[in-house]
Structure 1
Amino acid sequence: LWCDLLKVEAIGRRDNFFDLGGESLLVMRAVARMRKIFGVDVQLRNLFERPTLAELAEAIDGMRWVANSKGSPLSEGPREEIEL
């Protein structure tokens, strides 16, 4: 995703999006793609606050975990009791 947007061949985990040429228009495009790919509500501020690939990946993992736990059957309504 970053390689495509930033037109670079390779990116390391600690590379900074903005140091690689990222600017505001690319931030908006990156966020839109991340929302589509990962299915979470990534915000513009997430990329500004966590500009390295590693930091952003960690934030997205957290968002996905929260989103998945909210929709899990264990977190919904009353449970049926089953005799074992």
Structure 2
Amino acid sequence: MTTDASKSSQQTSAAAAVDNAMAEWAKLPGNATTLESWRSRQAQRVGKGIGFDPRKDLLPLKVRVDGLGSSLGRK
């Protein structure tokens, strides 16, 4: 049985693993520029009153989540 404290610790570890994976992704050549360009385009859309449409506005990323917290669990 998983306690609330254990779940919280697992969530914290998983979030840290994802944060680390994203930081590593951003270090790769061109990825930081790609992300900044996407953010800029999204800000312009918001400024024009155009809503976010996840069917076409999501930025696809491929990252590998390793280390402590990388196993997000299975039931």
- TM-score under structure 2 length normalisation: 0.34
Higher relative contact order (CA 8 A, sep 6+): 2
Bigger Cα Rg: 1
Higher helix share goes to which structure? 2
